Amino acid sequence: MDFMVFQYPMITIQACLDGILLGVLFALIAYGMALQWGVMNIINIAQGDLVILGGYIAYFMYLYGIHPAWGVIVSPIIMYFVGVGIYKLVINKVVDRDLFISILATFGISILFMQLMNFAFGADVVLANSGYGTTFLFDSNVVLPNSKIFSAVVSIVFAICLVIYMKKSKLGRAIRATAQNARAAKILGVDTEKVYAATFGINAALCGVAGALISITFTIHPYMGLPYTIRSFMIVIVAGLGNLPGVAMSGMGLGVFEEFADYILGTEFRIGSVFLLLVLILVYRRFKLSRKREYLK
């Protein structure tokens, strides 16, 4: 245990800012998960692998001399079609089934994706350099890489666009209607099959954006997806489905929590502390539920 983070106010500020910038990115991935979980009742274990695949798209653009920031535009477009493809091949066969079946199916997709990416791109750790420089605050006691700020801003922009799209567009309304009651929506003429495909596509596109941002700010590797799945799962669990402000808040909360855990417990417990928090929250929820004597369907 090391409480250095509280002894120097500058480190506290640094940790909070790092956490918030990171958390916004997590929230974007989690929003995709919440969306398709809410609409299709599918927990997508391959979420993190879609993120990494999106990252590779930006990386390859970078390799061919295109600035990786363009990946933020290109990657979601490609990933949308990847998402729709996965839906047509696998997900539409498990969408009305038990939650457990969908977890198994997406777990399978996750393993397949990891191996395919490993074959296609190699097992090397790679990154795309944005060359964005650094912002110094408080007499350069707090440093923020501009790539992190860029990724947070882009995440927020995409999230806002999506919210507006869901509220105003026809497809957005159809998605929301399907989430509320798929059968009723079908009776009223909504093509739920199309809605499901689009939802999965949108989720994959969001993962694509996040992946491009991760390749700019951190590193990518075919086997690095799972921590992102776990984090978004955790954020969605805390926030609840269909609660967008909740997803944003719990995303940032998780980011800050991770940063502080990193300083206090040590970097090695960073991901471990997320798991621990997840368990604690699930236990707490269970406890609250049993007191209310309600059952979660």
Partner 1 sequence: MKINKIILSFVSAVAILLSSSVVSFAKVVGDKIVLGAAISLTGKYSSNGVHTQNGYNMAVDRINSMGGVKVGGKTYKFEIIYYDDESNPKRAAQLAERLISQDGVEFMLGPYSSGLTKAIAPVTEKYGVPMVEANGASRSLFTKGYKYLFAVLAPANLYLDVAIRTAVELNGGKGVRIAQAFEQDAFSQDVRLGILDAAKETGSEIIIDDKLPKELNDMAATLVKVKQMKPDVLVVSGHTKGALTAIRQIAEMKVDVPMLAMTHCDAAKLSKQHGKNSQYALCASQWHKTLTYKDNFFKDGMTYAADFQKEFGYDPPYQSAESSAALLVFKDAFERANSFDQKKVRDALAATNMQTFYGNIKFAPGGQNVDKPMVLFQVMCDGAGKCENKVVAPLKWASAKLIHPIPKWSDR
The binding site for partner 1 (CB under 8 A) comprises 4, 8, 11, 14-15, 18, 22, 115, 118-119, 122-127, 129, 134, 136, 140, 143, 145, 147, 214, 218-219, 221-224, 226-227, 259, 262-263, 266-272
For the bound state, the minimum distance from the C-beta of residue 205 to partner 1, rounded and expressed in Å, comes to: 22
DSSP code of residue 91: I
What is the smallest separation between the CB atom of 238 and partner 1, expressed in angstroms? Answer: 21
**In the complex with partner 1, which residue's Cβ is closer, 42 or 252?**
252
Q: Between 109 and 182, whose beta carbon lies closer to partner 1?
A: 109
CB 132 to partner 1: min, Å: 8
Cβ closer to partner 1: 117 or 179? 117
Choice between 42 and 127, CB closer to partner 1: 127
Q: Which is closer to partner 1, CB of 123 or CB of 279?
A: 123
Please identify, using beta-carbon distances, which residue of 52 and 82 lies nearer to partner 1: 52
DSSP class per residue in 116-132: HHHHHH-S--B------
To partner 1, the closest distance from the beta carbon of 155 in angstroms equals 16
Which residue, 19 or 246, is less far from partner 1 as judged by CB? 19
Instruction: Find the shortest distance in angstroms from Cβ 131 to partner 1.
Output: 10
Indicate the residue among 171 and 230 with the shorter CB distance to partner 1. Answer: 230
Min CB(125)–partner 1 separation in Å = 4
Asked if 21 contacts 144 with a C-beta cutoff of 8 angstroms, the reply is yes
What minimum distance in Å lies between the beta carbon of 31 and partner 1?
Answer: 21
Tell me the three-class secondary structure of the chain, residue by residue.
Answer: CCCHHHHCHHHHHHHHHHHHHHHHHHHHHHHHHHHHHHHHCCCCCCHHHHHHHHHHHHHHHHHCCCCHHHHHHHHHHHHHHHHHHHHHHHHHHHCCCCHHHHHHHHHHHHHHHHHHHHHHHCCCCECCCCCCCEEEECCCCEEEEHHHHHHHHHHHHHHHHHHHHHHHCHHHHHHHHHHHCHHHHHHCCCCHHHHHHHHHHHHHHHHHHHHHHHHHHCCECCCCCHHHHHHHHHHHHHHCCCCHHHHHHHHHHHHHHHHHHHHHHCHHHHHHHHHHHHHHHHHHHHHHHHHHCCCCC
- Strand-pair category, 134-137 with 142-145: antiparallel
Please report, for residues 1, 277, 292, the alpha-carbon distance to residue 286 in angstroms, rounded to integers and kept in the order given: 30, 14, 10
CB of 263 to partner 1, least distance (A): 5
